[in-house]
Structure 1
C-alpha cells in the first residue's frame, strides 16, 4: 500500500521495460507546475518553504501538482537499490601504470606527475600545433619562463589583472569573475617571484594563476554560489582543501569565477553578475554551471581553473569552450570547503587548457588520505 492508503505504483525492472514501437508503454509526461525563480525570489521561496505549516502545505501542493507523490512517494521499485560505498576504494591493478606513494605533500605529488609526463610531448605539440593568434601557455611554459628569467610571476599577474579589467569593462562585458582582489593577487605573485629569485620555487605550479569557482572557499573572498546573499549567511573562514593544496604548491589564486546561480542550470546566465560569455563567440554562453572557470581558461587568462561538477557542471562548459574538463572519481578529492549544493554527486573538478595541465593540477589537489593517483609509468 502506498501513501494515503492508495495502491502503490509498481515500476517494473528496467530490463523488462519495452519502449519500442507497438509496445503500448509510454513515459508519463506531467505538466510541470513548479515555479521558475531566480535571484531574490530564490531566497524568498526557500524562506517560505522553511516556515512551519505554511511551508509544509506549499511543499505538498508542489509535490501533488508535479505527480511526485504518485511517481515517487507511492512507488514500489522491485530492483535492488544503489548505494554510495562507505569503505575505502581499492584500485584494480592495471598495466602501464604505477601508483605514487601515499602521504606525499602536494608539491611532491606534482613533481612525480611532471616526471611521468612524456618528454616528447613538448616537441610534438610545438611541431603539430595549428598556427593561431592565441597561444595558451601551459603550466610547464610558465614554470620554464619563470626559472629562466624570461618573465616573473609579478609581470604575469599585472598583465592578467589588466586583461581582467579590460574584459570586465562595458565594451567587452565578459563577466568572467565575480570577485578578484588585485592586491591579493599581486601579493601572492611577489612572494612567488622572490622564491624564484632565491631558487626555491615550491613546485612547477609556483606562480601559475589558478581561478576558483565561487562555489569553493578561497580566502580572502566570500563564497556566494553566484548569489547576493549566501556569502553573508555562510562566511568563508578558511580555504577549501583543494585550494589549500594548490596554495601549498605556490599557485597564485586569481579570484572567484562567475557561475550559474547556486549551480542550478547549464547556461551560466547569472542575474546578478552577468552572463559569462564564450570567448570564441561573445554572443554565446560559456555553459554552466562552472561558466567563468571554463571561460577564463578558454580565453588564456589562466591555464587552470577549479570548478564543481554534479551533473556535468565542469564537463559541459568545458565542451562549449573547447577546453579540458575533468570530474574525478568519487572519493578522490576532499569536498571540505565546497558548498554542499548537491553533496551526493557533486565534487570539485578541473578545467584546463591541456590534458597535461589537468594531470598536474589533479596531482596537487588529490586527497592526501588516498593511497595515490594513477600515473603513466
Structure 2
C-alpha cells in the first residue's frame, strides 16, 4: 500500500448476521505488521522525524496505512446499529426519603413542595425512633423547642446517656474529658421553662444546646455559631 494508493474499505456486518459455525465461510484476516526494525542512532533519527510537525504526521500516516489501520479501523464501515441501552435488565433502587413532584406544576407550586420538604418533623425524634443521619443546626433545635415537639431537657438526657454509653465498656471512648451531668440537666430544665414561657431573644435561641467547659478555640466556634444564628433569625 503506497501513500496515494487507496483500497476498498472494509464493511463489517452486524454481529447477529455473522456465521460463527464450523461450516462458516467468514474470512479471518490475520494482521501483517510492517514495522521497521531499528536500533541505536537510527532510532533517534526516527524519533526526530516523528516529533516534527509535518514529517511526523506524514510518516505516521504511512505507517498506519502499511499496517492496514486505515483500511480495517479508520475508514471501516460498521453496519451494526449503535447501542444506547443496557443489554441486561436494569432495576432501579427505590430511593428513601425522596418526594417526586409532577412536571406540569407551576414554579410557585414547585417551590412550595420544596419548602414542605425542608420542614422536617421532630415526631420520630421525640418518640425515640432512629432516623437517617442529619447534621442538626441551631435553627432546627430552635424550631423544635418553639413548637413544643421537643424540649431541651429531653435532648440533654439523651446527650448524657450517649456520653455514659460511650464511656462504659465495651466502647470506652471517653469523647468528653469533663462534663457535669447535673449542671447540664439544670441548664436544660431552665431552658425548657424559658421556652414554655415564650421568652425570645436573639442569642437565647441557642438556649437548650448542651454545652461543656471548652477551650479558647472552641469558644470562638460557639461565638461564630451564635453570629450565624443571628443572621438566620432574620431570614426565619
TM-score, reference length from structure 1: 0.25
Compare the two structures and name the one with the higher strand fraction.
1
Structure ID, larger Rg:
2
Compare the two structures and name the one with the higher helix fraction.
2
